[in-house]
Amino acid sequence: MSVQQNQDVADAEIDDKSVADYLEANPDFFNERDDLLAQMKVAHTTGASVSLIERQVAILREQNIAYKDQLSELIDVARINDRLMLKMQKLVLALLEASELQETLALIQQSLKDDFNADGITLCLFADPEMISLDSDQIGELRVKFVSHDDEQFKELGKLSESDEPACGVLNEAQLAYLFETEDSEIRSVAQLPLMMSDKGSGKCGEPLGVLAIGSEDAGRFCAGVGTVFLKYLGALVTRKLRPHLATGEDAWPSQ
């Protein structure tokens, strides 16, 4: 076999991938080959030729900028979570001091509006209004709506009474009109928090108390896919506080 044939065989066996695989497996290849490293040239984004080291430095600089941006985003998220935790702590401490149902509902309403910037709030309860210690004026002022499990309009909102997971998204006009008052007509997105008691010891969803609907004029605030950790915690907190005041299950509605 001629010298040219040997060279052709070698070229066929050593392709770009083989070289790349070898260099990846031997990252210290150029450590003892300064003369070869000095001859390496790669195209820069501007079209000019730069040394391999210069190109590596440029890549590392770009990666550093990207990492800084990611770190900045994580810090922003951590700060937001810290503020949410402080607001949640404030609400928990306030609810611990509340004993009456009216006081409890008022605190929830005030906290959601003042601390969590809610633009609309409605509490849908599976309970008999005659068995609740609130008069009609208080019910209207506190945005409480009493619904039955067979309420067709409520069913259109989804299977919220069958899960403890909050539902976020944009509702249609009929659904918004059902949940919120006319003064909340600018609501664009809604978070619906199922108030679901857990079966003791099992951790499974138990008896539903209702749904807490929180509306926002920002269409992107409660969009589908948004994180729901704090919303789920809020729903569990409200459930625990309301449970002693409400008759549910077979006792929620008088037999016909």
Compare 148 and 233 and report the one with higher pLDDT. 233
> Which whole number is the average pLDDT over 74-97?
91
Highest mean pLDDT among 20-29, 49-58, 117-126, 205-214 belongs to 117-126
CB 52 within 8 A of CB 23: no
* Count of Cβ atoms closer than 10 Å to residue 193 Cβ: 27
> Which whole number is the average pLDDT over 47-51?
58
Would you state the pLDDT for residue 45? 58
Burial (CB count within 10 angstroms: exposed 0-12, middle 13-18, buried 19+), residue 215:
buried
Mean pLDDT of the chain: 78
Beta strands in 14-61 (DSSP E): 41-43, 49-51
Q: Walk me through the domains of the chain, giving residue ranges and CATH numbers.
A: 100-251 (3.30.450.40)
Compare 221 and 34 and report the one with higher pLDDT. 221
Would you state the pLDDT for residue 215? 92
- In this structure, the dihedral spanned by the alpha carbons of residues 147, 152, 153 and 155, taken in order and rounded to 10 degrees, is 80
The model's pTM is 0.67
Compare 223 and 86 and report the one with higher pLDDT. 86
Predicted confidence (pLDDT) at residue 3 exceeds the cutoff of 60: no
